A and B are shown apart, each in its own frame.
Chain A
Amino acid sequence: KAGVTQTPRYLIKTRGQQVTLSCSPISGHRSVSWYQQTPGQGLQFLFEYFSETQRNKGNFPGRFSGRQFSNSRSEMNVSTLELGDSALYLCASSLGIGGSTDTQYFGPGTRLTVL
């Protein structure tokens, strides 16, 4: 079974630009969560999508948005990029059924650098 894939793996943008990151979950998984990881903050939860609906949202500004398609693939968009947005963006997929058996499987991440 193929794992979680994220594209692109690396991205360099300048301040003010926007960026779209893509995540393909494991086949059969309906939940996709996005995280921002920086050295000092650890993993920060952005949002979770389940069956094309945003189910949970973290404390990030509205510049961060996402969506999920009918095939469970998800995209994350960041508009008006700031230097502080430089981070590793991780996508995790799970069955989405909740409970202790609902393990999140992470992709390799997209390394975003904002200059």
Chain B
Amino acid sequence: KNQVEQSPQSLIILEGKNCTLQCNYTVSPFSNLRWYKQDTGRGPVSLTIMTFSENTKSNGRYTATLDADTKQSSLHITASQLSDSASYICVVSSVAGNNRKLIWGLGTSLAVNP
């Protein structure tokens, strides 16, 4: 069964600290993996996308890694800011022929406190 599991479910950190969010998946066939940021009351916004051959991708203070062998991804946030408070969602794309499926994780809720 195709699944995407994220941990932790929620996280509280102090402003300026770093943190790492985890995403484990069992999706086949694998096409790519994205991390989205969703602010409260807004739609998700894509942060990074990685294909099978990529093992790291950065977007400013956000760095995503992918280990296709262990089927794990992480999102590292450096020098956190209050505006990083949001839900971070991992989604894996599976493409078979002309049929594309997106398997969404439940997200990690991050609170950055001053």
Contacts and interface: CB of A to CB of B under 8 A. Distances in A.
A106 B41 contact: no
A103 interface: yes
B49 A106 contact: no
A107 B107 contact: no
Nearest to B49: A100
A104 B51 CA distance: 16
B43 A4 contact: yes
B89 A42 contact: yes
A64 interface: no
Nearest to B43: A106
Interface residues of A, number: 18
A90 interface: yes
A32 to B, nearest CB: 13
Contacts of B100: 56, 98
B105 A103 contact: no
B41 A42 contact: no
Interface in B89-105: 89, 91, 93, 95, 98-102, 104-105
Given A100-B51, A108-B43, 20 more contacts: A4-B43, A42-B89, A42-B105, A43-B89, A43-B91, A43-B104, A45-B102, A56-B99, A56-B101, A90-B44, A92-B43, A98-B100, A100-B49, A100-B93, A106-B43, A106-B45, A107-B43, A108-B42, A109-B41, A109-B43
Interface of A: 4, 41-45, 56, 90, 92, 98, 100, 103-109
Interface of B: 31-32, 41-46, 49, 51, 89, 91, 93, 95, 98-102, 104-107
